[in-house]
Structure formats: structure tokens, C-alpha cells
């Protein structure tokens, strides 16, 4: 009889333990819990490279003199270029391209519906030796849910400017944007308590955006680190080569 009670007690313990494992809600299923409990990440930029390699990145179909890198569609749908906006989260996106534009080149950002010029900057102010020049948008903050376009043009002939490329992009809708802003704020707070480096923060944010298929925001984090490691520098080279169809 005692053996039966002990056996029943053991079975009850197993049932309770099993219920605790199966019935309890998984904390990692909740974004806020995952942010709160995650440990300091070991930086491995190869993970970001692998994500891009799994994408059908459009390469070799660009203007040979100019390649828009971000914001830009990455899917292998060349017929969508210029007609379908790429989704971004940043209200101040980083514009990245590759190519020699000339001293009269300008980057311009427009409100798409009204075709209203919002911001522009001369490219002549940039270091012309850079392989992939970039400019951070410094105009009035863009708005969630709105569609914009950016282009790089040359005004060597004021009467007939040359437009190298026009890219549509759209900021994510307000509810999604706000949810992501909250989660990213929680992530930043956690990383500050860990005294994380700029590159660690960029890696964690890039991973966050990659999980949500926001590739232009991933590139903004990749390109935005002021003093990149050799691994990150190589990743930048590899990604721009891949996006622009440069044979390695």
C-alpha cells in the first residue's frame, strides 16, 4: 500500500511538473519578456549576412553608374522598382548608394502624393573616395503611414537635370510603428544597463529589424556605426557588392 502511495505521489509530481512545463505561457513568446530576459549578445555579423543571402537580392539590373542601396527593394522583382514603396521604420532614414555622381549631384526627398520637395543636400560635401556614400535625412521628421520618394540627380545642366534613380519608400503604419518604438526603447534600456558598445547596440537592433523583414532599417544599423570593427567593415563591403550585383 505504501508503495502504491509513493508511486501515486511520484505520478502526481510528474503530472504537476508536466503541467507546469506545458501549460505555463512561454515567456519568449512575448516580445517585452524576451527583451527583458535576453542576455548580452555575442556579435556575429555573419548572421546578418546569412539573412541577406537567403533573400533574392536583385543584382546586376541597376544603372551601371549608380546603385541605390537603402532605402531600396531587395526582392527579385525588378518590375516593382520605382512603383512599389519599400517599408521603413526610421523617421530619419539613412540614404546609401554607390556610384560617382559628380560635383553637381544632389540628394532629394519628396512627399510622394503632392510631389513636394521636403529636403535636399548637395553630394559635393561628401568624401568622394567613399565606396558607398550616405546621407542621414535631416528634414522635418517623416510620418508613419506616409509615402515618400528619394532620388539622386545631377544638375550640371540646370535646364536638363539627370536623374539617376527614384525610389519610393513608406514609413510603417502608426500602430505598428508605435509598438516597435516601445520594443526598441525596452531593448535600448536593457543594453544601457549592460554598458553595451555602439556596435553591439547596432547588431541587436539590426537583428530586430531583420526578424521583421525591414531590410532598409537593417542596413541603416549596419552602415551607422561610427567606428566599425573589421568584421562589420567586411560585411558592409559584402552587402553592397551583393545588392549592386558586383562580382566578387
Give pLDDT tens digits for 151-190.
988 766 665 557 777 899 999 999 999 999 999 999 999 9
Rounded-to-integer distance, Cα 185 and Cα 199, Å: 17
**Cβ count within 10 A of residue 81:** 19
The cell numbers describing 6, all together, are: 509513493
CA 93, 45, 228, 123 dihedral sign is negative
**According to the model, what pLDDT value does residue 103 have?**
66
Residues whose CB is less than 8 angstroms from the CB of residue 37 and which lie 6 or more positions away in sequence, other chains included: 27, 28
- pLDDT given at position 140: 92
Q: What is the pLDDT of residue 152?
A: 87
Q: How far apart are CA 112 and CA 186, in angstroms?
A: 33
pLDDT < 50: residue spans in the chain: 1-40, 59-61, 77-80
In the three-class reduction of DSSP (H, G, I as helix; E, B as strand; rest coil), residue 136 is classed as strand
In the chain the first and final C-alpha atoms are separated, in Å, by 76
Provide the pLDDT for residue 27: 32
pLDDT of residue 84: 82
Residues 117-155 pLDDT 10s: 999 998 876 665 567 888 999 999 999 999 999 998 876
How far out from the chain centre does Cα 58 lie?
Answer: 17
The pLDDT of residue 132: 81
The pLDDT value recorded for residue 138 is 95
245 CB-contact burial (10 Å; exposed 0-12 / middle 13-18 / buried 19+): middle
* pTM for the model: 0.76
Amino acid at each position: 500500500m505504501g508503495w502504491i502511495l509513493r508511486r501515486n505521489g511520484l505520478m502526481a509530481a510528474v503530472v504537476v511538473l508536466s503541467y507546469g512545463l506545458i501549460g505555463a505561457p512561454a515567456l519568449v513568446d512575448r516580445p517585452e519578456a524576451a527583451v527583458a530576459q535576453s542576455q548580452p549578445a555575442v556579435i556575429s555579423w555573419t548572421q546578418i549576412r546569412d539573412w541577406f543571402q537567403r533573400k533574392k537580392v536583385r543584382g546586376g539590373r541597376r544603372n551601371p553608374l549608380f546603385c541605390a542601396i537603402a532605402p531600396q527593394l531587395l526582392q527579385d522583382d525588378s518590375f516593382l522598382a520605382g512603383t512599389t514603396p519599400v517599408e521603413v521604420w526610421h523617421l530619419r532614414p539613412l540614404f546609401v548608394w554607390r556610384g560617382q555622381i559628380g560635383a553637381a549631384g544632389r540628394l532629394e526627398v519628396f512627399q510622394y502624393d503632392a510631389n513636394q520637395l521636403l529636403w535636399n543636400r548637395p553630394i559635393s560635401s561628401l568624401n568622394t573616395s567613399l565606396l558607398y556614400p550616405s546621407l542621414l535625412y535631416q528634414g522635418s521628421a517623416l510620418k508613419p503611414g506616409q509615402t515618400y520618394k528619394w532620388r539622386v540627380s545631377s544638375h550640371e545642366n540646370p535646364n536638363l537635370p539627370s536623374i539617376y534613380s527614384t525610389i519610393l519608400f513608406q514609413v510603417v503604419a502608426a500602430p505598428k510603428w508605435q509598438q516597435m518604438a516601445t520594443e526598441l526603447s525596452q531593448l535600448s534600456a536593457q543594453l544601457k544597463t549592460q554598458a553595451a558598445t555602439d556596435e553591439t547596440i547596432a547588431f541587436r537592433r539590426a537583428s530586430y529589424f531583420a526578424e521583421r523583414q525591414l531590410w532598409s532599417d537593417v542596413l541603416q544599423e549596419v552602415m551607422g556605426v561610427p567606428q566599425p570593427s573589421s568584421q562589420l567593415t567586411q560585411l558592409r563591403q559584402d552587402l553592397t557588392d551583393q545588392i549592386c550585383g558586383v562580382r566578387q
